[in-house]
């Protein structure tokens, strides 16, 4: 009898490419080579690269941490951040080579040294700004409103639905922050944040931490009616700057991107068939 | 600018906001919660619950 067992890493034998005119990418399903095989099951929110093409992976399960890999995916180390960060969402490198991470559910963003030591913080840790965001809308509607528990048993088991309902309660732009989602830095070294899970804002801070501007409006009115449009955000999920220092703000659940000139004027509105843009 | 979403699309815009490339299809494996890129033109996708078995995907630029 011949006993054959295909190799565990048999997936590497298959080459998958996504290509269109001018662009082609090989799809590699598992980039990092972790020292612990179980790490592949940890929920990863996002990541970013440094100038040497090392990749920093933001893990948000359990002890929040940042894992650093070299450009080939080899493990270089782990930056433990649970002392300062509860749930890392998005991050980037600063011009000084520090790590900037949004600490979403503590309503702040934290700057750390490459070794994970605290440098400074933006926002008020643990204090959400007033935007009307009501985390308990789903629970209230269930107890006092139109939703009956017997009708929505399956939905109730999906806590995400409570998030969706809460996002429709954001009726005004608040100060920094209310569940800040994302960050980037422009050519002047100014810090830009997408303040999106509990707010509808794009905030810009000077390098010294002074708030310079806040842009954006909610996409729902006080009756819960949806009014989408340029600069009106359902969820500001990601921000990025381009070579002209324009700020691109991705409205994930609005399936749109609003692009701001550096002075805050809206330069473009890209809307529809983007697949709910999560990142830029 | 590269725009990626949960629906399986990767859209590339130029600085005039024109679409220069559209990759993926509805519910393709190009679903992502987060994304970043390196100086080689490679992209990294972080799908979270959209693909819990592959949390860090590399899109290696070959053209």
Q: Does residue A141 fall inside a structural domain?
A: no
* Structural domains counted in chain A: 1
**Interface A-B: count of C-beta contacts within 8 A:** 161
pTM for this model (two decimals): 0.95
Quote the pLDDT of residue A63.
65
Neighbouring CB atoms inside 10 A of A239's CB total 26
Q: Give yes or no for residue A142 having a pLDDT over 60.
A: yes
Q: Does residue A24 fall inside a structural domain?
A: no
- Closest-CA distance, A215 to chain B, in angstroms, reads 20
Quote the pLDDT of residue A157.
52
Of B1, B34, B37, the CB nearest to A45: B34
CATH code for the domain of A194: 2.130.10.10
- Closest-CA distance, A42 to chain B, in angstroms, reads 8
Q: Does residue A146 fall inside a structural domain?
A: no
Give the neighbor-by-neighbor strand order of the sheet with B2-5. Answer: A277-279, B2-5, B9-13, B19-24
pLDDT interval class at A137 (50, 70, 90): confident
Neighbouring CB atoms inside 10 A of A90's CB total 31
Q: Cis omega (within 30 of 0) on the bond before A177?
A: yes
Q: Do A280 and B38 touch (CB under 8 A)?
A: no
The answer to whether the Cα torsion of B55, B27, A158, B36 is positive or negative is positive
How far is the CA of B8 from the CAs of A130, A147, A171, A224, B28, in angstroms? 34, 32, 30, 29, 4
- The whole domain housing B54 covers 2-59
d(CA A17, CA A73): 19
Quote the pLDDT of residue A51.
95
Of A21, A32, A259, the CB nearest to B17: A259
Q: Do A277 and B4 touch (CB under 8 A)?
A: yes
Task: Say if the ipTM goes beyond 0.95.
Answer: yes
Strand, coil or helix: what is A142? helix
Q: Which residues of A93-104 are buried (b: 16+ CB within 10 A; e: fewer)?
A: bbeeebbbbbbb
Residue with tokens 């690269």: A49
Q: Which of A10-19, A138-147, A157-166, A197-206 has the highest mean pLDDT?
A: A197-206
Average pLDDT rounded to a whole number, residues A255-269: 98
Task: Return the residue of A nearest to B38 by Cα.
Answer: A53
Quote the pLDDT of residue A52.
97
Residues of B in contact with A240 (CB under 8 A): 1
Q: Which residues of A29-54 are buried (b: 16+ CB within 10 A; e: fewer)?
A: bbbbebeeeebbebbbbbbbbeeeeb
Q: Do B5 and A26 touch (CB under 8 A)?
A: no
* Structural domains counted in chain B: 1
Q: Does residue A274 fall inside a structural domain?
A: yes
Q: What mean pLDDT value characterizes chain B?
A: 96
Q: Do A279 and B9 touch (CB under 8 A)?
A: no
d(CA B61, CA B58): 9
- Where on the phi/psi map is residue A234: left (φ > 0), alpha (ψ -120 to 50), or beta? alpha
**Cβ atoms of A56 and A67 closer than 8 Å:** yes
User: Which residues are registered as beta bridge partners of A249?
Assistant: A239, A258
Average pLDDT rounded to a whole number, residues A174-188: 97
- Closest-CA distance, A18 to chain B, in angstroms, reads 7
Q: What mean pLDDT value characterizes chain A?
A: 92
Average pLDDT rounded to a whole number, residues A262-269: 98
**Cβ atoms of A102 and A183 closer than 8 Å:** yes
Question: pLDDT tens digit string along B36-58?
Answer: 999 999 999 999 988 989 999 99
Q: Does residue A194 fall inside a structural domain?
A: yes
Pairing of strands A266-271, B19-24: unpaired
Pairing of strands A247-251, A99-103: unpaired
Q: Do B21 and A40 touch (CB under 8 A)?
A: no
Q: Give yes or no for residue A155 having a pLDDT over 80.
A: no
Of A43, A47, A270, the CB nearest to B13: A270
User: Over pLDDT 70: what percentage of chain A?
Assistant: 95
Q: Give yes or no for residue A59 having a pLDDT over 80.
A: yes
Quote the pLDDT of residue B40.
96
- The whole domain housing A280 covers 128-133+169-280
Task: Return the residue of A nearest to B39 by Cα.
Answer: A53
Fill in the DSSP letter of residue A243. Answer: T
Q: Do B49 and A244 touch (CB under 8 A)?
A: no
Token pair of A259, please? Answer: 């692009």
- Select from B36, B51, B62 the residue whose CB has the most chain A CBs within 10 Å, as the one to mutate to test that interface: B36
């Amino acid at each position: 009898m011949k006993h054959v067992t295909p190799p565990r890493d048999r997936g590497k034998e298959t080459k998958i490419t996504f290509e269109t005119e001018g662009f082609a990418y090989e799809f590699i399903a598992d980039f990092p080579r972790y020292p612990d095989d179980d790490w592949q099951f940890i929920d990863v929110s996002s990541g970013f690269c440094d100038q040497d093409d090392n990749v920093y992976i933001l893990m948000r399960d359990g002890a929040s941490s940042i894992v650093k890999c070299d450009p080939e995916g080899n493990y270089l180390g782990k930056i433990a951040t649970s002392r300062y960060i509860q749930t890392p969402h998005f991050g980037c490198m600063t011009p000084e080579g520090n790590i900037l991470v949004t600490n979403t559910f503590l309503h702040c963003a934290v700057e750390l040294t490459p070794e994970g030591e605290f440098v400074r913080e933006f926002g008020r840790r643990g204090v959400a700004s007033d935007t009307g965001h009501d985390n308990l809308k789903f629970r209230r509607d269930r107890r006092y409103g139109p939703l009956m528990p017997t009708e929505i048993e399956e939905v109730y088991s999906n806590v995400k639905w409570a998030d969706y309902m809460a996002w429709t309660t954001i009726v005004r732009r608040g100060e920094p922050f209310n569940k800040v989602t994302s960050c980037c830095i422009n050519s002047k070294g100014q810090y830009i944040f997408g303040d999106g899970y509990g707010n509808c804002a794009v905030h810009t801070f000077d390098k010294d931490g002074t708030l310079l501007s806040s842009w954006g409006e909610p996409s729902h009115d006080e009756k819960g009616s949806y009014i989408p449009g340029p600069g009106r955000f359902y969820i500001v999920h990601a921000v990025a700057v381009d070579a002209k220092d324009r700020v691109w703000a991705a409205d994930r659940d609005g399936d749109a991107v609003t692009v701001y000139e550096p002075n805050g004027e809206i330069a473009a509105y890209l809307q529809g068939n983007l697949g709910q843009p999560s990142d830029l | 600018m590269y725009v990626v979403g949960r629906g399986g699309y990767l859209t590339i815009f130029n600085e005039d906001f024109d679409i220069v490339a559209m990759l993926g299809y509805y519910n393709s494996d190009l679903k992502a919660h987060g994304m970043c890129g390196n100086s080689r033109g490679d992209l990294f996708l972080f799908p979270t619950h959209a693909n819990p078995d592959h949390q860090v995907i590399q899109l290696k630029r070959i053209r």
